[in-house]
Amino acid sequence: MTDSMRSPQLSEQAYQTLKHAILCLRFQPGQALIERDLADTLSMSVTPVREALQRLQHEGLVVRVPFRGAHVSTISLTDVREIYELREMLEGRCASIAATQLLETDLQEIRELLLSGQSSLSNGDQIGCSDALWRLHDIITRGVRNRRLLIFLSDIRSQARRIGTVTSYIPGRVAKSLQEHSALVEALQRRDPGQAQRIMADHMMSLCADLMRDFEEGGVSVTFLASTGSITDVVESTFHG
């Protein structure tokens, strides 16, 4: 197979690997992403790595600073507030729709994910619990037949997932999220759209408030968040301020 034929496959591989590293915070906000080093680590040429970084830049996970190359985008408190406000509206609406649209097989899958999250938390695996809850959100949104709503939600999903990883390190936050999702699942099973929407919206605001409080108190989120500026502006000001 020629390099040109393998390029799309390698580009996708590089994209998935680098995106996972950013979302799980193995590559931290502001960290330099040197194409040659990444290519060596992934055992591929620079071209698919460059293509992957371009995709991640489009998603807001990577920024390019003139004369400095690519960096993982920084997350500010402004970003957190804006993203959670959007999630409150968009995912609240998704939960409302899901309450009447989900199939019984969907509800069964949601219940199993909730149990999986509970099991992970009992075993001290907070990240595993958080992952199960994210997959629960995926099921809620997949039954929504509103293309524009899903496009808007998709645009912020990568950033939301990365912020969600930050919240998973706040003591007690994952257990709290599990309780909130348990209440959400009950509302979905009752086919109660109003209650499902309220619980989802309250969950988003609870996450945002706890993250803000943790930052103000000098908690773990200080390592990953900047106090001011946008995702792009913070990185640029680091090198040009």
165 touches 23 (CB < 8 A): yes
Q: Is the pTM of this model over 0.95?
A: no
Separation of alpha carbons 14 and 43, rounded Å: 10
Mean pLDDT of the chain: 90
Residue extents of the structural domains in the chain: 3-73, 76-225
pLDDT at 186: 98
Q: What does the pLDDT look like over 174-208, one tens digit per residue?
A: 999 999 999 999 999 999 999 999 999 999 999 99
Separation of alpha carbons 205 and 159, rounded Å: 16
pLDDT of 56 over the 90 cut: yes
Separation of alpha carbons 217 and 219, rounded Å: 6
pLDDT at 231: 44
134 touches 140 (CB < 8 A): no
Return the number of other C-beta atoms located less than 10 Å from residue 21's C-beta.
Answer: 16
Residue 163 tokens read as: 């912020």
Answer whether 3-73 and 76-225 agree in fold. Answer: no
- Which CATH superfamily is 76-225 part of? GntR ligand-binding domain-like (1.20.120.530)
Q: Read off the pLDDT band of 143 (50, 70, 90).
A: confident
pLDDT at 227: 74
- Reduced to 3 states (helix: H, G, I; strand: E, B; else coil), residue 32 is strand
Q: Identify which of 181, 177, 201 has the alpha carbon closest to the alpha carbon of residue 114.
A: 181
Q: Which residue would you say has higher pLDDT here, 240 or 85?
A: 85
Separation of alpha carbons 222 and 241, rounded Å: 21
For residue 48, which amino acid is it? P
Q: Please give the span between the terminal C-alpha atoms of the chain, in angstroms, as a whole number.
A: 47
Residue 19 tokens read as: 């995106």
Q: Identify which of 126, 133, 125 has the alpha carbon closest to the alpha carbon of residue 169.
A: 126
228 touches 76 (CB < 8 A): yes
- Reduced to 3 states (helix: H, G, I; strand: E, B; else coil), residue 13 is helix
pLDDT at 65: 84
Q: What does the pLDDT look like over 95-138, one tens digit per residue?
A: 999 999 999 999 999 999 999 999 999 999 998 999 999 999 99
pLDDT above 90 coverage of the chain, percent: 80
Return the number of other C-beta atoms located less than 10 Å from residue 11's C-beta.
Answer: 19
Separation of alpha carbons 44 and 99, rounded Å: 46
pLDDT at 66: 84
Q: What does the pLDDT look like over 146-161, one tens digit per residue?
A: 889 988 898 898 899 9
Q: What does the pLDDT look like over 219-239, one tens digit per residue?
A: 999 999 987 654 444 334 433
Low-confidence winner among 13-17, 75-79, 201-205, 226-230 (lowest mean pLDDT): 226-230
Q: Identify which of 4, 64, 30, 19 has the alpha carbon closest to the alpha carbon of residue 226.
A: 30
Domain 3-73, CATH number (from 1.10.580.10, 3.30.300.30, 3.40.640.10, 1.10.10.10):
1.10.10.10
Separation of alpha carbons 44 and 50, rounded Å: 11
